[in-house]
Structure 1
Amino acid sequence: MSITLNGAVACVTGGGRGIGEATARLLAERGAIVIIGDIDLDAAQAVAKTLSGAKAVKLDVADPESFENFLTEARKMGPIDLLVNNAGIMRTGEFVKLDLAALHREMAINTGGVINGMRLVLPEMLARSYGHIVNVSSMAGKMTCSGASVYTASKFAVAGLSRSVRAEIAGSGVTITTVMPSAVETELTAGMNIRGIPKAKPSEIADEVVASCRHGHPEVTMPKWLFPVGTIEQALPEKLGNWIKRAVGAQERIAPDNEQTRKYQERVSRS
């Protein structure tokens, strides 16, 4: 079941930059009333000011009360038709050297935020038999990434959660699409050696988010030919898979220490 974007009330988390900003802009172009949530209210307001009818709300997706307040502000515009669970962070480095509290915070944002958003908005969508949810996961939700272990775990969790809830609400008129990009040219990947890895611009991911409002497909990988990657990794003996990752320097490429990666890690430490 598709939803109509013209006049739709659309909520976007992490909408102050990157994929979230690109998605908010495209939704506004399609006539949606966009409510932009971000823990960085200044960034969200800067985006909202450039879009007709858009509204910015401070949002900590890991906090159910903050998420409910975000949705309450959106409901002032009308029933919520679309929720894009996009907010997320990535901690990189060796698992045993990363701060434990920071790792729990990463899970709380990346996975807990999706749990909060879906649980808080689904009842009203199901009551109307109308609505669409997009959960932005990652190809890290299909294959493991050395150097970003908890990020990988959080994205696997988002993919599994989305699939499970889809099964529960099948035939309800409400749809859930999981979008799984490879590397995206945002602050999150700045400074990483992603040469040879399929890359996409935030606007391309936004195109897929908006397209899902029409087709409602369960999972969308970016690029689409990467869809079987998870199956291939599962079929490989783990020792062989690990050897391949070491051979291509996967951990060093994902978790380098340079000015750009330090800048990003410093910012997410305040999230």
Structure 2
Amino acid sequence: MSINLNGAVACVTGGGRGIGEATVRALVDQGARVVVGDIDEKAAEAVAASLSGVRAVKLDVADPESFENFLNVARELGPVDLLVNNAGIMRTGKFVDIDLAALHREMAINTGGVINGMRLVLPDMLQRSHGHIVNVSSMAGKMTCAGASVYTASKFAVAGLSRSVRAEIVGSGVSITTIMPSAVDTDLTAGMNIRGIPKAKPSEIAAEVIASCKHGQPEVTMPKWLYPVGTIEQALPERVGNWIKRIAGAQERIAPDNEKTREYQARVSRS
């Protein structure tokens, strides 16, 4: 499987900033015709305005009608060759302290958005025996993160969904790659005390998205050496894993209360 990006129609969700923006720019560099979607319409428009031939659409990935409209804008250019399901948010703090509606909204965006996107593009891709989907998950889809419980659950769900659908479409000519980064230098991690944890640049994740269009590998972890982490955690007795996380201060590092984290959480609450 290989997708020629030169002239391809590509859709990127959550493309107004961070990994999404970097991916849009990398795709344009490859000659793709890109439609960028983001719930922050102004952010999407700013990205599109800075590039040639990019279209911007207000997109709520949790809303199937909004997602269908986003894809229909892309279909004006031709059949969708690539969908990058990147949109996502992270609520941090103790599970019992976070508003229930906010937790459901987080799941609806992070997992529901991927369900919507895949279900809406796959029929056409399968009919054409051509297409590629990239689902941006996280290393939180392989290991549990205290202080970001629903985020962790949503990313496990994305990884499991991707694997299950891949099994259904084997030999179809359509591929699905799940990208699982560790910490990335975006607003999501700003303010977190993650010293000692590998931190990638958005452009590095974007490069992996581009590379996946050629190799079509099922899962890509970043950095690569983190691949067995999930297996190691599952092999450990839970009480041992919890002890290690307590000693490392995992929850306090992921969910600190400071100006940067409050700013991000305030923006997330408007998503």
| TM-score (structure 2 length as normaliser) | 1.00
**1:49 deviation in Å?**
0.7
Distance 1:49 1:258 in 2: 33
**1:270 deviation in Å?**
0.2
Matched, 1:88 2:88: yes
**1:52 deviation in Å?**
1.2
Distance 1:145 1:198 in 2: 15
Matched, 1:5 2:5: yes
1:211-236, Cα deviation, whole Å (9 max, x unpaired):
00000000000000000000000000
Distance 1:89 1:238 in 2: 27
What letter is aligned with 1:245? K
**1:180 deviation in Å?**
0.1
**1:248 deviation in Å?**
0.3
Distance 2:89 2:68 in 1: 21
Paired residue for 1:263?
Answer: 263
Paired residue for 1:31?
Answer: 31
Distance 2:188 2:69 in 1: 27
What letter is aligned with 2:59? L
Paired residue for 2:44?
Answer: 44
Report the secondary structure of 1:10's partner residue. Answer: strand
Paired residue for 2:69?
Answer: 69
Matches within 5 A, 1:68-217: 68-217=68-217
Distance 2:96 2:43 in 1: 33
Distance 1:155 1:213 in 2: 21
Distance 2:224 2:129 in 1: 29
| TM-score (structure 1 length as normaliser) | 1.00
1:148-172, Cα deviation, whole Å (9 max, x unpaired):
0000000000000000000000000
Distance 1:77 1:37 in 2: 15
What letter is aligned with 1:128? R
Distance 1:212 1:24 in 2: 15
The gaps in structure 1 that reach 5 residues or longer are: none
Distance 2:153 2:107 in 1: 8
Paired residue for 1:220?
Answer: 220
What letter is aligned with 1:173? G
Distance 1:203 1:182 in 2: 14
Report the secondary structure of 1:244's partner residue. Answer: helix
What letter is aligned with 1:39? I
1:101-131, Cα deviation, whole Å (9 max, x unpaired):
0000000000000000000000000000000
CA-based RMSD: 0.3
Paired residue for 1:250?
Answer: 250
What letter is aligned with 1:62? A
**1:28 deviation in Å?**
0.3
Report the secondary structure of 1:88's partner residue. Answer: coil
**1:191 deviation in Å?**
0.1
Report the secondary structure of 2:81's partner residue. Answer: strand
1:203-257, Cα deviation, whole Å (9 max, x unpaired):
0000001100000000000000000000000000000000000000000000000
Aligned length: 271
Paired residue for 1:53?
Answer: 53
Distance 1:31 1:49 in 2: 17
The gaps in structure 2 that reach 5 residues or longer are: none
Paired residue for 1:17?
Answer: 17
Sequence identity (%)? 83
**1:51 deviation in Å?**
1.2
**1:50 deviation in Å?**
1.1
Distance 2:129 2:3 in 1: 11
What letter is aligned with 2:147? G
Moved over 6 A (4+): none
